Structure 1
Amino acid sequence: MALDRRALLAAGIALPLAARASATPPPDNSRPANVRPDASFALWPDGHIQPPAGLVEAVVQRSDDPNASDRMLQGITRPRLDVFRPAKPNGAAVLLAPGGGYRYVVIDKEGYELARWLKARGVTVYVLFYRLPGDGWANGADVPLADAQRAVRLVRSRAKLDRIDPARIAFGGFSAGGQVATSLLTRFDAKVYAPADAADGLSARPDALAGFYPVVSMDPVIAHAVSREKLIGAQPDAAREKLYSPERNVRPDQPPLFLLHAEDDNVVKVANSVRLREATRGIGAPCEAHFFERGGHGFGLMKTAGLPVAIWPELLWNWLASHKIV
């Protein structure tokens, strides 16, 4: 699906946005205890979505190390994008969906960590805090995908404002955020929400998509049990299980795909990525996959020291370059 760059740029919606000065990044071998986004904005206009009664948003700090923040956001009532703006944008944009088993969305690990790494290389990064399917939303199974679609469209609509190329937008997801990403891979044009404004006339198809140790399948043999139950319930019928299993919905016009997984992942089975790779290659769609002997689950950037998997950010960068994103 080709994108008309001139048309997308012309459709830019100029939204005023006050940018805050970003913190100086800490050394690469430390967690981003003091990293802050340059801006943040809501996905939806006021009143377009109605949070379930009693849902309260909260940040929970899981680390007792003052130099290693590890926060999670739960009870998300205001889905949003936190923006990391490089001093000299290269025109590329990357949206990131962190994991959390569809119970919460982590902030630092899988979000701000990779955002600062990409920002340092000139990429404009948007960290997506998406609604959670088990929090009582109407059509709960579709709210993560709705937020992902809306995020891509909104970023495209802001191309002039954020100095990005609307035809160089990548989307990446970790763990359960990888299920958000791979759902977007195959259902980027599914009608899962009512249009909110002019941005929803733009394409929600990313120009490239990556899954990092992703939850993919709803097949109970390999599914991440918690994510599966939160997304489709404890006893889904066969049609529902299929609809929410991206490996069973691959299509020739899906974006180029990058997959990363450790063979010793004891939380999300590597078979999730293997099946998606096989299905993608089976229809002739582009896919690059990297499987490492060791790494476990949730390694992000900071839990790879001394392991071959530590090279993964460079592999991702080279793949993005090969598809003319960066």
Structure 2
Amino acid sequence: MTINRRSFMAASLVSGLALRATQAYAQTPPPQADSPRAPGLPQPGETIDLWPAGAPGMPASPPRETVTERSSDELVTDRAVLGITRPRMAVFRPDRPNGAAVLLTPGGGYKHVVVDKEGYEMARWLTARGFTAFVLFYRLPGEGWANRSDVALADAQRAMRLVRHRAGDFAIDPERVAAMGFSAGGHVCAYLAARFAARVYAPVDAADALSAKPICAAPVYPVVSMDPVIAHAGSRDLLLGPAPTPALEAAHSPDRNVPADAPPHFLLHAEDDDVVPSENTLRLRAALKARGIPVETHLFTQGGHGFGLRKAIGKPVEAWPDLWRAWARTVGLG
């Protein structure tokens, strides 16, 4: 991928005053449970709000952000957040930046966003290896937002542009920003890789002059197709609403929207996934191959759904993060 460096530099210069004004606003803290646990694990102390003047398309009766702790283990957190009205990124900085960054979009079936299992845990793994990680808490389509089917995509586009806009603040190369997502967050990731150039929100500042295209994309056990034969029913219903037309299903299936300039993809799925059928990944692979887009695919016999890092331990699928990292080097990420 090639970012237009002239436009990047121009946007950075023009936006100096605007950026300082944006940073003057207090940023929204990361999602917090009422009773925080596992205090020994690194928690993010830095966030970036996506929309300084408020997220577009706010519902008439905005939802209330709520964090639920689902773990019964006092040493392991498993939080989920819903009612996100101030979409934002939680920032994880490595001690020794390698110049690359990863935008993480956790799953949750579009009914909530997972905090730990596919967010903070993966961010810690990445920062231990030099990557700067940004965990995105995106808006949920079933909570009354205007243009419901595109709100998560709009947040992902805006997040990618803000990371590039502030690349100097994080010692990262604006051309080396990747996307990785899980389950419904894998749909956000794959959708971003397919529709990075789609205009799904009105530009708000100079950051929006930058590309939202990731250098590479890694949808992990992703929701992809809105075809009811293989779709994750809950994600489909929340994303598209009741009784979607075939045209709407096609418009929001990343496998049916792969552009000729899509970024390289790393695909991963377990064949015993009983929540999101692996056919979702196979359809995306076929679409990418048809377009001549480089794609590496790993199918594991066992793993189920939602294994992330913690549930992969002791299984062959445990190797997946290192497989991703080895592949990422081949596409210039790090």
TM-score, normalised to structure 2, is 0.90
- State the partner residue of 2:8: 8
Q: Secondary structure at the match of 1:137?
A: coil
- State the partner residue of 1:253: 261
State whether residues 7 and 209 of structure 2, in contact with CA within 8 Å, keep that contact through their aligned partners in structure 1.
Answer: no
Q: Give the 5 Å matches for 1:148-227.
A: 148-227=156-235
- State the partner residue of 2:30: none
- State the partner residue of 1:238: 246
Give the aligned residue type for 2:265. L
- State the partner residue of 1:91: 99
State whether residues 32 and 68 of structure 1, in contact with CA within 8 Å, keep that contact through their aligned partners in structure 2.
Answer: no
Give the aligned residue type for 1:43. L
Q: Give the 5 Å matches for 1:86-165.
A: 86-165=94-173
Question: Structure 2 CA distance, aligned partners of 1:150 and 1:73?
Answer: 20
State whether residues 5 and 165 of structure 1, in contact with CA within 8 Å, keep that contact through their aligned partners in structure 2.
Answer: no
Match of residue 44, structure 1, among 48, 51, 64: 51
1:249-269 deviations in whole A, cap 9, x for unaligned?
112200111111000000000
1:18-74 deviations in whole A, cap 9, x for unaligned?
99xxxxxxxxxxx88633014111011124535321410011100111100000011
State whether residues 55 and 87 of structure 2, in contact with CA within 8 Å, keep that contact through their aligned partners in structure 1.
Answer: no
Question: Structure 2 CA distance, aligned partners of 1:267 and 1:140?
Answer: 23
- State the partner residue of 1:311: 319
Question: Structure 1 CA distance, aligned partners of 2:288 and 2:259?
Answer: 8
Question: Structure 2 CA distance, aligned partners of 1:43 and 1:154?
Answer: 8
Query: 1:238 deviation in Å?
Result: 1.2
Query: 1:78 deviation in Å?
Result: 0.7
With over 3 angstroms needed to count, the CA separation of the structure-2 counterparts of 1:214 and 1:48, relative to structure 1, is closer
State whether residues 104 and 136 of structure 2, in contact with CA within 8 Å, keep that contact through their aligned partners in structure 1.
Answer: yes
- State the partner residue of 1:323: 331
Q: Secondary structure at the match of 2:311?
A: coil
Of stretches 94-103 and 227-236 in structure 1, the one that deviates more from structure 2 is 227-236
Q: Which 5+ residue runs of structure 2 have no aligned equivalent?
A: 28-37
Give the aligned residue type for 1:39. E
With over 3 angstroms needed to count, the CA separation of the structure-2 counterparts of 1:203 and 1:262, relative to structure 1, is same
1:227-266 deviations in whole A, cap 9, x for unaligned?
0000012211111010001111112200111111000000
> Identity of aligned pairs, percent?
57
State whether residues 141 and 149 of structure 2, in contact with CA within 8 Å, keep that contact through their aligned partners in structure 1.
Answer: yes
Question: Structure 2 CA distance, aligned partners of 1:112 and 1:48?
Answer: 23
State whether residues 48 and 196 of structure 1, in contact with CA within 8 Å, keep that contact through their aligned partners in structure 2.
Answer: no
Question: Structure 2 CA distance, aligned partners of 1:116 and 1:9?
Answer: 31
Give the aligned residue type for 1:60. T
Question: Structure 2 CA distance, aligned partners of 1:80 and 1:152?
Answer: 12
Query: 1:288 deviation in Å?
Result: 0.6
Give the aligned residue type for 2:195. R
Give the aligned residue type for 1:61. E
With over 3 angstroms needed to count, the CA separation of the structure-2 counterparts of 1:253 and 1:47, relative to structure 1, is same
State whether residues 173 and 214 of structure 1, in contact with CA within 8 Å, keep that contact through their aligned partners in structure 2.
Answer: yes
State whether residues 59 and 73 of structure 1, in contact with CA within 8 Å, keep that contact through their aligned partners in structure 2.
Answer: yes
Matched length:
315
TM-score, normalised to structure 1, is 0.93
2:41 pairs with 1:34:
yes
